Amino acid sequence: MATVELSLPDLAGLAPAQLRQCIRTGQWRHLTAGLAPGYTQANLAIVPRALAYDFLLFCQRNPKPCPLLEVLEAGDPEPREFAPGADIRTDLPRYRVYRHGVLAHEVDDITAYWRDDLVSFLLGCSFTFEHPLLDAGIGIRHIELGVNVPMFITNRACKAAGVFQGPMVVSMRPIPHTQVVQAVQITSRFPAVHGAPVHVGDPAALGIRDLQRPDFGDAVPMAPGEVPVFWACGVTPQAVIMQVQPELAITHAPGHMFISDRRDGELAIL
Amino acid sequence: MATVELSLPDLAGLAPAQLRQCIRTGQWRHLTAGLAPGYTQANLAIVPRALAYDFLLFCQRNPKPCPLLEVLEAGDPEPREFAPGADIRTDLPRYRVYRHGVLAHEVDDITAYWRDDLVSFLLGCSFTFEHPLLDAGIGIRHIELGVNVPMFITNRACKAAGVFQGPMVVSMRPIPHTQVVQAVQITSRFPAVHGAPVHVGDPAALGIRDLQRPDFGDAVPMAPGEVPVFWACGVTPQAVIMQVQPELAITHAPGHMFISDRRDGELAIL
């Protein structure tokens, strides 16, 4: 039986569980931005149990780039905290399967790759703090332009843990100088999704030479009176995993996130 | 050569590194409360590497009772983040060594027990948030009375992780109803040391029958107009470790904490 693909208007107003059902049945294989507004979306990283302790420790030591939302038991595909009943193997629209650090497959279901020793990590995503910024009247340039956020490899080393090490990757958003303090305050309330900025102002302090040449994502223009503000970025843990070249690692495809049952506001402290 | 024991006035004004030196050389084997005011003190839990992943995951899933400050590499006795140069095996005034969940030795040096597979966990301690409460004019009853904080085993289960599971233990502080909101706000700024209360008011909601009969510590009187406020307690992880009866586990002796180089204020967010 052929599955009928849905279009974006069909999905408006659907709850996270309904959206995951559409994704699981192959009716939605596209980007998740804008789906289930107000509900937290998460990055996914899956590694074998033999690497899981070092990776968990890496996240504990580097909470800003690697904000853990949930770590599933080895072999368990159900995120019992963030989406009871969901299945991490089928409920994301697109996955990347890496063998020895090399992208081997891009698929919409990882059931065929599943093993009892795989440990799934759900990590916070900046989508969660961008909504409160927008609600406070702070514009997000890359959203306004419909492009990907610009990301940069910095000169700041993450704290190593076992086999994992590497530089911190940051995302940059231009913020009017009149709103910088508020942007710091708002994102500080969300330590589970990268939290406060790691740097405000001069890109050179992070070893970034040219804001118009990001390492990942798209360049965005800076307007007069705007300050570049840098947040730790979820690309960091993925880059660090790939450097170790594990025999198997699985991640979401960029922008194809896991849609959880938790509301963004639940992740706020204060 | 006999070591000369120091008295409390000798230690006033000493920096954390100097205090650890006094402890290391056997000149101070007593409680650490009040030493190096403004510097963070930490709980210590040491387990074999074979249990470390489950315990790290337990802490990740239960950050309020088990707020991780630092996890040392297996076999490494130096807390490189919180006190570079320190030695976790000698720099606490008193340790408890457990064999199969039973207290086997109480010692002031664990070098003889050290193994390459031991993983040390430093966990946040409520001392860190009691100072800002006092600074804000919120009295801490058990400090006023010079007794230990009252602690209670609750009816709330921690989230299990691998072999670790058990109920949350809480500490209780009576707070005047006019200061409850402020106490919540202040402690919310310190997620690394138990953070916001887990409950305000009726003890029965936590399954606590009698505030005057704590499971650990000392009972304290409630004055008219005071509300019992409950914070997750660092006794939780120790109780959970003992339940698993590991062949070896080592902790600080109650009140004999690790004195770190980090200032309390550095642990505040916002």
B211-236, pLDDT tens digit by residue? Answer: 999 999 999 999 999 999 999 999 99
Which helix (H) or strand (E) segment holds residue B38: the answer is none
Phi–psi pair at A127, nearest 5 degrees:
-45, -40
Residues of B in contact with A81 (CB under 8 A): 61, 159
Is B60's CB within 8 Å of A81's CB?
Answer: no
Q: Residue A237 and residue A123: Cα distance in Å, rounded? A: 9
Domain with CATH 3.40.1640.10 in chain A: 8-125+247-265
A163-187, pLDDT tens digit by residue? Answer: 999 999 999 999 999 999 999 999 9
Q: How far is B44 from chain A (nearest CA, A)?
A: 17
Q: Are B220 and B174 in contact (CB under 8 A)?
A: yes
The DSSP string of A144-213 is HHTSPPPEEEEEEEPPPBTTB--EEEEEEEEEEGGGHHHHHHHHHT-GGGT-S-SEES-GGGGT---TTS
Q: Residue B96 and residue B252: Cα distance in Å, rounded? A: 6
* Nearest CB to A56; choose among B57, B191, B269: B57
Superfamily of domain B127-233: PSTPO5379-like domain (3.30.2040.10)
Look up residue A3 and give its two tokens: 């599955």
Domain with CATH 3.30.2040.10 in chain A: 127-237
Distance of CA A249 to CAs A80, A164, B153, Å? 21, 14, 41
pLDDT at A2 over 80: no
A200-259, pLDDT tens digit by residue? Answer: 999 999 999 999 999 999 999 999 999 999 999 999 998 899 999 999 999 999 889 999
Is A188's CB within 8 Å of B60's CB?
Answer: no
The share of chain B scoring above pLDDT 70, in percent, equals 99
Is B269's CB within 8 Å of A159's CB?
Answer: no
Residues of A in contact with B71 (CB under 8 A): 57, 60-61
Q: Residue B201 and residue A9: Cα distance in Å, rounded? A: 47
pLDDT at B92 over 70: yes
Is B56's CB within 8 Å of A61's CB?
Answer: no
Q: Confidence band (pLDDT; 50, 70, 90) for B270?
A: low
pLDDT at A94 over 80: yes
Q: Residues of B at the A interface (Cβ-Cβ below 8 Å)? A: 52-53, 56-57, 60-61, 68, 71, 73, 81, 159, 161-162, 185, 188-189, 191, 195-196, 269-270
Between A31-35, A176-180, A214-218, A261-265, the lowest mean confidence (pLDDT) is in A31-35
pLDDT of residue B127: 84
User: In which residue are the tokens 């974006």 written?
Assistant: A8
Q: Running DSSP on this structure, what letter comes out for residue A256?
A: -
Three-state SS at B103: strand
Is A60's CB within 8 Å of B56's CB?
Answer: yes
Q: Residue A172 and residue A199: Cα distance in Å, rounded? A: 10
Instruction: Please state, rounded to an integer, the average pLDDT across all residues of chain A.
Output: 93
User: In which residue are the tokens 């107000």 written?
Assistant: A38
Look up residue B142 and give its two tokens: 């058990």
Sequence-separated (6 or more) residues with CB below 8 Å from residue B18: none
Instruction: Please state, rounded to an integer, the average pLDDT across all residues of chain B.
Output: 94
Any idea which fold B8-124+238-263 has? Answer: PSTPO5379-like (3.40.1640)
Q: Which CATH architecture has domain A8-125+247-265?
A: 3-Layer(aba) Sandwich (3.40)
Q: Are A62 and A159 in contact (CB under 8 A)?
A: yes
Any idea which fold A127-237 has? Answer: PSTPO5379-like fold (3.30.2040)
Look up residue B208 and give its two tokens: 């606590």
Which helix (H) or strand (E) segment holds residue B85: the answer is none
pLDDT at B242 over 80: yes
pLDDT of residue A1: 46
Provide the CB-side half-sphere exposure for A109 (13 A, CA). Answer: 11
pLDDT at A188 over 60: yes
Nearest Cα to Cα of residue A190 among A238, A98, A128: A128
A139-151, pLDDT tens digit by residue? Answer: 999 989 988 899 9
pLDDT at B34 over 90: no
pLDDT of residue B1: 46
Residues of B in contact with A191 (CB under 8 A): 191, 269
ipTM above 0.90, yes or no: no
pLDDT of residue B39: 94
Domain with CATH 3.40.1640.10 in chain B: 8-124+238-263
pLDDT of residue B2: 56
pLDDT of residue A270: 65
Torsion A38-B59-B156-A122 (CA) sign: positive
Domain with CATH 3.30.2040.10 in chain B: 127-233
Q: Residue B51 and residue B69: Cα distance in Å, rounded? A: 18
Is B71's CB within 8 Å of A81's CB?
Answer: no
Q: Are A77 and A20 in contact (CB under 8 A)?
A: no
B120-178, pLDDT tens digit by residue? Answer: 999 998 888 898 999 999 999 998 998 889 999 999 999 999 999 999 999 999 999 99
Mean pLDDT of A117-122: 98
* Nearest CB to B191; choose among A52, A53, A191: A191
User: Count of CB contacts below 8 A, A vs B?
Assistant: 44
Q: Confidence band (pLDDT; 50, 70, 90) for B192?
A: confident
Exposure string (b/e) for B238-261, b if CB count within 10 Å is 16 or more?
A: bbbbbebebebbbbbbeebbbbbb
Q: How far is A64 from chain B (nearest CA, A)?
A: 12
